[in-house]
Structure 1
Amino acid sequence: MKKILYTLLLFSTISISAQGKRFFENGEVQLKNPVEKINLRFESNLPFVKVSINGKIYNFLFDSGAPTVISHAIYDELELKKKYKRSVKDSNEKTQEQIFTELPEMLVDNLTFKKVGAIVLDLNSAELGCLKVDGILGANQMAKLFWRVNYTENSLEATRDLTLFDLKDYKTILPFDPKPQKTPVVKTRLFDKEIDLTFDTGFSGRIEVTEEKFNIKKTSRAVETYGTRSIGAFGAAKPVKGYIFRVDSMKLGNTIFQNELISTSASDLIGNEFTKDFSFILDWKNNKVYFKPIKTIAPKLETFGFSYRFIDAKPVVAFVFQEENFPLKIGDSIISINNINLENLNKDSACQYMINRIEKNQSNIDIKIKRDGKILDFKMERKEYLK
């Protein structure tokens, strides 16, 4: 059964000004075959591909929510030249000035990309370093081809000719407007408000909207939350009050989805927890995403009611449901879960537990925490909310 993720590795939705539009139009791609099959690895609700640059293999995120990105290590190794510096905003509205450069060549299996514009970012900070990402294959590269994606089968295909992808069963169609860096934006309405959802394969969650789009008076099915839900390119979001809620219906493109689960956050996004139930085709020529359903099970909200981050290799409660008598609080230091000691971890072991959560697939857990110098033990049960 489908579950909502609570530590959302929100990696993308990097935005730029319209000044960078021409920069991200540049570049070309060559194919050896009419349809190219690309390596794809779907882990932690995120899609990764192996790319080759100057004969060296790197791990890139396949991310429609961001432009192409390379690490400082790649930039330095290739001795690339700076085109210019511009301010870049991540999904949590944090802004930093970054180098814009041009990547001479990148191989993705039998695809050869040349002279692609890229942003240089630090990809080793905080939780992002655990993913061991060297860069992003971004929307400006994707827009040069048609892509068919199926996370369930770890399948990714690319072509220049859309007719080589049979659209017969792809009956759900989402028109989109591309941003200057080609990121797709899908329009919808919620509580009588227009919403622009970034179609973001670099977002591990389901559907999120900014809090001003939510109206507590128009739904009786909502859970109040508090804490940090997301990690952006420049760090974690600040802890805030939020909601997870269910809507009776939500129209996306030509299809109405029933009993959809949505969360409030810093950005308006549609991500992999939603799209992994489909095979989908990305089409920048006609500005559409085509969907063929793989699963039709309604989303369920099953959780222990909290999540935690690793700060300096120490697990700390970062997000909780605002329930009466809920035992955990923001800032609690976690000593152990199910008698697995989480104290004195190094960077590698902290990353291991961050990606492979002890509580995953568990119905009950014993958790030991430290709060105000006191050691406290709690037994917690996974519950279903918003049935």
Structure 2
Amino acid sequence: MMKNSHVFAALMGVSCLGCSSALAQDSGMGAVLSKPPGIERDRQVIEVPMDVRMGKLFIDATVESETRAFIFDTGSPTILTTDLAKALNLEIMGQNTGRDANGREVTMDVAVVETLAIGGLTFHNVPVLIFDPHQLELGACILDGGVIGSEILPGSVWTMDTEQGRLTVSAPGAATDSREASLTARLHDFGYPHTPVVDYSVGDVRDKAIFDTGSADEVVLFEGVADSKKVRRSIAAGTVVKGRGSDGVSAGGPGDIRDLHRFTLPEFHLGKDSIGPVRATTRETAPTLIGAAILDRYAVTLDYAAGQFILTDRASPMPRAPEPGYSVSVVNGAVTVTRLYEGTLAEQAGLRLGDQVTSINGHAFRDLDTGPVCEEALWLADTFDRTARAELVVERAGGPETIRIPKMVH
């Protein structure tokens, strides 16, 4: 979905705040969080523009009197930034503790907003979590209003179509999409925060996954599943790429450096039908994720009223891009190599995990502690193409060294 999705992989954890299955609820907040919002429509089918930036889906929404850009993240509850919460003078009703994307506990304030409007669709009395993006180095670079999350999904039919650049929200039974579905699977709703859950299988292994648009990947298998013998036997021969790196900084802090794996699954079933082959990676925490990269091939519909997860072929699927062998991001005020895969052109050229990069293709990075860190991070995400020929200047003990990485051939 983007040239360098892992520049903001850190913020995948911000947007989902570890609510990949369900937030921990204390007895005082349970009733507040689980009460369904009211829904008011000015028409039965509503279409709003949806942009893909930095590997995230963005829509505009109005919370009470304030209109902001929000990440639309099906793997997250709704989250407002502290700046927006203060502008609205929201009353803090309590706190809620969940786990971030790296498995660390995170506690956030809880409030209820009177109205949350997306186009002609208005939700009433929506519980929201409040998070200060300034706690994270790049948090304010991507979070404007915050995150529109999954607790508003029940009661409507939601279609995400990145080919058309739109989000369609329909009343139950009012959907107008005449295209024939490619796949229909059961959609589960296990309560707050109402994240969309589907059944999947790899070989004889059956499990449940969240459809999480906060993840830029296609499929991210929980390691407990990926390590099983039956799943390992299902991996296409010769497709495994190993590496080391971090899953990024989440709300509770940076993820640990760990082993990384990428591989192809010839068959990946959702319900009874396969969407394989898929390119997959792994994560340390449960559950498995089906990420936003699936939107490169399909429009995805979440029909909560009918309990259906529906895929519809895009008219022009996006071609699979070559996989770069490395990732770079801003870490502690420096552009840093945060992931590196074995046997790739980047490793063969001499790049090392943890290298601090002072320039790329003549684009110099300076004074990120006090300078334009967001501009540089956005340049890395949306302008720098890791599949193209690249010349990186890195700092080593003996002084600067130039690493020349050839262009990748698909």
**TM-score normalised by structure 2 residue count:** 0.85
CA RMSD of superposed structures (Å): 2.7
Partner of 1:199: 211
Partner of 2:379: 356
Pair 1:224-2:242 in alignment: yes
CA–CA separation in structure 1 for the residues paired with 2:48 and 2:107: 33
Partner of 1:16: 23
CA–CA separation in structure 2 for the residues paired with 1:296 and 1:109: 27
Range with greater deviation from structure 2 (235-244 or 189-198): 189-198
Partner of 2:99: 89
Does the 8 Å contact 1:36/1:159 carry over to 2? yes
- Residues 176-224 of structure 1: CA deviation (Å, up to 9, x unaligned): 3224310012222235433322101222222111223224853432011
AA of the residue aligned to 2:176:
F
| Structure 1 segments unaligned to the other structure (5+ residues) | none
Alpha-carbon distance, 1:25 to partner: 3.2
- Residues 18-44 of structure 1: CA deviation (Å, up to 9, x unaligned): 666642333212111111122322212
CA–CA separation in structure 2 for the residues paired with 1:257 and 1:70: 35
AA of the residue aligned to 1:133:
D
2:168 to 149, 154, 157: 157
2:258 to 214, 235, 240: 240
Write out aligned runs for 1:152-301 (5 A). 152-166=163-177, 168-180=179-191, 181-190=193-202, 192-215=204-227, 218=233, 219=235, 220=237, 221-267=239-285, 268-294=288-314, 300=320
CA–CA separation in structure 1 for the residues paired with 2:173 and 2:255: 39
Alpha-carbon distance, 1:89 to partner: 1.3
AA of the residue aligned to 2:266:
D
Q: Report SS of the residue matched to 2:276.
A: strand
Q: Report SS of the residue matched to 1:302.
A: coil
Does the 8 Å contact 2:261/2:282 carry over to 1? yes
1:333 to 344, 352, 356: 356
Range with greater deviation from structure 2 (195-204 or 344-353): 344-353
CA–CA separation in structure 2 for the residues paired with 1:301 and 1:236: 28
Does the 8 Å contact 2:160/2:167 carry over to 1? yes
CA–CA separation in structure 2 for the residues paired with 1:297 and 1:116: 36
Q: Report SS of the residue matched to 1:126.
A: coil
Alpha-carbon distance, 1:301 to partner: 5.9
Q: Report SS of the residue matched to 1:356.
A: helix
CA–CA separation in structure 1 for the residues paired with 2:60 and 2:82: 18
Alpha-carbon distance, 1:102 to partner: 0.8
Q: Report SS of the residue matched to 1:343.
A: coil
AA of the residue aligned to 1:16:
L
1:148 to 159, 162, 167: 159
Does the 8 Å contact 1:4/1:205 carry over to 2? no
Change (3 A) 1:208 1:240: same
- Residues 236-288 of structure 1: CA deviation (Å, up to 9, x unaligned): 32110020011221112232123311001234211111123212211112222
Q: Report SS of the residue matched to 2:181.
A: coil
Write out aligned runs for 1:61-72 (5 A). 61-72=71-82
Change (3 A) 1:89 1:361: closer
Pair 1:136-2:159 in alignment: no
Q: How many corresponding residue pairs?
A: 385
- Residues 145-197 of structure 1: CA deviation (Å, up to 9, x unaligned): 21122112111111213343336512311323224310012222235433322
AA of the residue aligned to 1:242:
L
AA of the residue aligned to 2:65:
G
AA of the residue aligned to 2:254:
A
Range with greater deviation from structure 2 (215-224 or 374-383): 215-224
CA–CA separation in structure 2 for the residues paired with 1:18 and 1:86: 6
Identity %: 17
Range with greater deviation from structure 2 (67-76 or 12-21): 12-21
CA–CA separation in structure 1 for the residues paired with 2:301 and 2:317: 21
| Structure 2 segments unaligned to the other structure (5+ residues) | none
CA–CA separation in structure 1 for the residues paired with 2:131 and 2:190: 20
Does the 8 Å contact 1:65/1:184 carry over to 2? yes
CA–CA separation in structure 1 for the residues paired with 2:155 and 2:244: 41
Change (3 A) 1:111 1:337: same
Write out aligned runs for 1:1-150 (5 A). 5-7=5-7, 8=9, 9-10=11-12, 11-12=15-16, 13-14=18-19, 15-17=22-24, 22=31, 23-124=33-134, 125-150=136-161
Does the 8 Å contact 2:61/2:67 carry over to 1? yes
Alpha-carbon distance, 1:53 to partner: 2.7
**TM-score normalised by structure 1 residue count:** 0.90
- Residues 73-106 of structure 1: CA deviation (Å, up to 9, x unaligned): 2222323223222211122212112212111112
CA–CA separation in structure 1 for the residues paired with 2:224 and 2:349: 26
Structure that is richer in strand per residue:
1
Alpha-carbon distance, 1:314 to partner: 1.6
CA–CA separation in structure 2 for the residues paired with 1:298 and 1:138: 26
Alpha-carbon distance, 1:229 to partner: 3.0
Range with greater deviation from structure 2 (13-22 or 327-336): 13-22
Q: Report SS of the residue matched to 1:74.
A: helix
Q: Report SS of the residue matched to 2:394.
A: strand
CA–CA separation in structure 1 for the residues paired with 2:116 and 2:174: 26
Does the 8 Å contact 2:359/2:394 carry over to 1? yes
Alpha-carbon distance, 1:369 to partner: 0.2
CA–CA separation in structure 1 for the residues paired with 2:223 and 2:386: 30
